[in-house]
């Protein structure tokens, strides 16, 4: 049986993961509108990954006898100054999500919900990966500076991210 405090906190996390989906999809739309189809593909794949995180949480709540209650999802930003600015916003969001996951782990330990603590370890590891991926892209922006052609090359590189079964990559 899922503790009511944990159920409420996991429902909040489901909502946060669905907001992350909205955010990444919004960034993808912006990227694609700017002609950065590779970066748009990367962001759409990231958006779908966030949905999978929400569904993983959904399944856990249901399996433990809890009830998922969906809440309204805030509208994400729709404009960024540059591609680098959009990736900076993505990293800031991932750092925020990491804090939320850590809070869930703390709650699991506090209420002695060992099943939740074990389940949440996957998310702890996933957040390390999420932050590292976006930071690596930002490091490339910093390394290249204003070098002509960099944005083109990075766009091509990010467009090579394997597409999911839901959204095929856009053709450049």
pLDDT, tens digit only, all 172 positions of the chain: 899 999 999 999 999 999 999 999 999 999 999 999 999 999 999 999 999 999 999 999 999 999 999 999 999 999 999 999 999 999 999 999 999 999 999 999 999 999 999 999 999 999 999 999 999 999 999 998 888 799 999 999 999 877 665 555 556 5
pLDDT of residue 162: 72
pLDDT of residue 145: 84
pLDDT of residue 96: 98
pLDDT of residue 168: 57
Burial of 34 (0-12, 13-18, 19+ CB in 10 A): middle
Q: Provide CB contacts within 8 A for 84, sequence distance 6+.
A: 138, 141
pLDDT of residue 169: 55
Q: Provide CB contacts within 8 A for 44, sequence distance 6+.
A: 24, 25, 28, 163, 167
d(CA 64, CA 44): 31
CATH superfamily, with its number, for domain 4-71+81-158: Ferritin, core subunit, four-helix bundle (1.20.1260.10)
* Model pTM above 0.85: yes
Q: Where are the domains of the chain?
A: 4-71+81-158
pLDDT of residue 25: 96
């Amino acid at each position: 049986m899922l503790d009511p405090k944990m159920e409420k906190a996991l429902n909040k996390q489901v909502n946060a993961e669905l907001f992350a989906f909205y955010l990444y999809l919004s960034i993808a739309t912006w990227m694609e509108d700017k002609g950065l189809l590779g970066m748009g593909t990367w962001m759409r794949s990231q958006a779908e990954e966030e949905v999978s995180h929400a569904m993983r949480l959904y399944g856990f709540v249901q399996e433990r006898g809890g009830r998922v209650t969906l809440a309204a999802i805030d509208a994400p930003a729709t404009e960024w100054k540059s591609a680098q600015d959009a990736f900076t916003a993505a990293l800031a969001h991932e750092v925020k999500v990491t804090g939320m996951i850590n809070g869930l782990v703390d709650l699991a330990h506090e209420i002695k919900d060992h099943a939740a603590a074990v389940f949440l370890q996957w998310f702890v590891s996933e957040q390390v990966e999420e932050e590292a991926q976006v930071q690596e892209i930002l490091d490339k922006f910093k390394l290249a500076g204003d070098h002509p052609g960099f944005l083109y090359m990075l766009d091509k590189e990010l467009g090579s991210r394997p597409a999911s079964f839901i959204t095929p990559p856009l053709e450049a």
